[in-house]
Amino acid sequence: MRVLVTGGAGFIGSHVVTALTAAGHEPVVFDALVPAVHPDAEFVRGDVRDAAAVAEVLRGVDVVCHQAAMVGLGTDFGDAPDYVSCNDLGTAVLLAAMARAGVTRLVQAGSMVVYGEGRYTCAVHGVVRPGPRAVADLAAGRFEPRCPRCGAGLLPGLVSEDAPVDPRNVYATTKLAQEHLAASWARATGGRAVSLRYHNVYGPGMPRDTPYAGVASFFRSALERGEAPTVFEDGGQRRDFVHVGDVARANVAALTTIEGAGHTAYNVGSGDPHTVGEMAAALAEAFGGPMPVVTGDYRLGDVRHVTADSSRARAALGWKPEVAFADGVAEFARAPLRSPAAG
C-alpha cells in the first residue's frame, strides 16, 4: 500500500514512516522540512497549503496519513493566524486535492485537546463538565476544578470519544476544525476518515527547546541543559503519556483496517495515567538529575486533568499500547532530541 505521510519528517510522522516500512508498506514523506531520517523512503519537500504540490504528490497514492501540523500551546494569541493556516487551511487544501484525485481514505492526527477538561464525577450530581478555571483561583493556587452546580470537589476519570468537545485554546480549536473538515470531506465524497486523538505523546526524536512541543520535551530539554525541569501548578495535573511507538502503531492499524464511509474519532492513550509531576520526576531520576522544581505558575490555556479511554481503538482497530511508562521514560531520558528546525 502506497501511503502519503504529510509531516513525515517530524517527530510523530517519522515514527509512522518507520512503522509503515516495517509493515511492508510504501510510505511517501511529504514535508516542508529537510529530511533528517528515512533515507530509504521517498521524500518530497512541500507544504500542504500548496495545492499544486499536493496534487502532484497524491499521484498513485492509496491512502493518506495526515500528520503535518503546528502543535503545542504556543507563545500567545499572536500565533493564531499561523495555527489556523498550517492546521486548518492545510487540511482543507489536502482534502480538496484528495477529492479531485479520488483518494478516499484518510487517517489524521487528532488530539485530546479537543475535550478541554476531561471527565469528572461529583458525589452529588454525577458526571459534570466544569468550565474554564478562573484566573483568581489559579493565582491563589486553587487548581482543581469544582462542581459547576454545587462547588464540591470532583473525581477525575477517563474521557471517551463521545464526551462533549470544549477546546480551550487556539491549537485545540484548530484540531477540532480539522476533524470537522475531515467529516465534511467524508460526507461529500463517500470517503472514510479517521481522527486519532493523541494524548500526551513522548519518546525519542522530540524537538528540543521550543514553545511548540509537549511538556515531556520541556522537561527533557531542561535536563539536557543541566537545569531542573520546572513544573507548573502543583504538578498534580493528570495526563495519559503515550509512547510515540504506540502512536505510530495505532496509525498503521487505522490505515489498514478502515472501511466503509464516514468519520470516526479514536482516543490513542496508554491507559495508565500519571501526573505531570510524576513524569518530571521519573525523567529526572532516569537522566541522573537535577530533580524538578514545582513553581506554582500556570498557563490559562491549560486544563487540569484529561486522560483517555482508548477502548474503542482497541476494539475496532485491534491496537493496544505496548510500551510501559517506566520503560518508555527510561528510554526517552537517554534518547537524543532533535533541533526544532528538523521537525
Query: Would you say the C-alpha torsion 125, 128, 131, 133 has a positive or negative sign?
Result: positive
Phi, psi of 184 (to 5 degrees): -65, -45
Closest by Cα among 246, 257, 254 to 324 = 246
Tell me the C-alpha distance between 336 and 204, whole Å. 7
Neighbours of 25 (CB within 10 A): 19
Grid coordinates belonging to 271: 491507559
Q: Within 10 Å of residue 154's Cβ, how many Cβ atoms? A: 22
Cα distance between residue 322 and residue 211, in whole Å: 29
- Picking from 134, 129, 132, the residue whose alpha carbon sits closest to that of residue 119 is 129
- Catalytic entry in 171, 198, 266, 298: 171
Q: Are strands 230-231 and 262-268 parallel, antiparallel or unpaired?
A: unpaired
171 catalytically annotated: yes
Q: Count of CB atoms within 10 A of residue 341's CB?
A: 10
Active-site annotation, residues: 171
